């Protein structure tokens, strides 16, 4: 009797690890347009009313508005990373991801706030004196995995 191809188990396709969760944080003054910033973050996260605003005093005294977004679902976090765009992905790879990953396996990204509200997602320049939005992406990896390789492969697959 001949064995059919369907009688054999095929190995599972290689799985690209993902992102477990994403967080964004932005600091705004009382003069900033919080609605515009919130709408921009809603677009970036591809969801509605995702920004939670709180107030706190800055080191120098004036009240600061702190906006934070938490995306705790893997699919939403991955989509958010994709929405950064190919230009940002190429810049991340060119600069090297190793300097952006901490000991807790988080990828840290800063994007320009002024660019974001204009609909342009660009990395903030190192040492630039501009307002930025700070993003943190928790990398999905397991003991024995090289988290730098995992996030590099993931970002490379998005370009």
- DSSP secondary structure letters along 68-89: EEEE-SHHHHHHHHHHT-HHHH
- Domain span at 116: 18-157
Q: Where are the beta strands (DSSP E) in 41-159?
A: 52-57, 63-71, 106-112, 132-139
* CATH number of the domain that residue 101 is part of: 3.30.1440.10
- Residue 11 inside a domain? The answer is no
- Residue 7 inside a domain? The answer is no
- What is the pLDDT at residue 57? 77
Nearest to 107 by CA among 120, 117, 93: 93
The stretch 43-58 carries a mean pLDDT of 88
Q: Is the pLDDT of residue 18 over 90?
A: no
Q: Is the pLDDT of residue 29 over 80?
A: yes
**pTM: predicted TM-score of the whole model, two decimal places:** 0.83
- Residue 102 inside a domain? The answer is yes
pLDDT tens digits, residue range 51-85? 999 988 767 778 889 999 999 999 999 999 999 99
Domain count, the chain: 1
- Residue 4 inside a domain? The answer is no
The stretch 130-157 carries a mean pLDDT of 89
Q: Is the pLDDT of residue 13 over 60?
A: no
Q: Is the pLDDT of residue 113 over 90?
A: yes
- Residue 52 inside a domain? The answer is yes
- Residue 1 inside a domain? The answer is no
- Residue 13 inside a domain? The answer is no
């Amino acid at each position: 009797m001949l064995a059919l191809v369907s009688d054999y188990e095929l190995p599972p396709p290689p799985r690209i690890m993902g992102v477990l969760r994403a967080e964004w944080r932005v600091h705004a003054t009382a003069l900033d347009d919080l609605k515009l910033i919130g709408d921009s973050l809603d677009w970036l996260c591809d969801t509605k009313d995702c920004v939670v605003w709180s107030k706190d005093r800055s080191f120098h005294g004036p009240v600061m508005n702190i906006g934070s977004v938490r995306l705790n679902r893997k699919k939403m976090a991955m989509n958010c990373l994709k929405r950064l765009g190919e230009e940002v992905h190429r810049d991340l790879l060119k600069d090297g991801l190793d300097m952006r990953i901490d000991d807790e396996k988080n990828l840290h990204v800063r994007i320009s706030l002024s660019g974001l509200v204009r609909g342009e997602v660009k990395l903030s320049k190192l040492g630039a004196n501009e307002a930025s939005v700070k993003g943190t992406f928790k990398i999905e990896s397991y003991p024995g995995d090289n988290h730098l390789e995992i996030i590099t492969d993931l970002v490379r697959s998005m370009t």
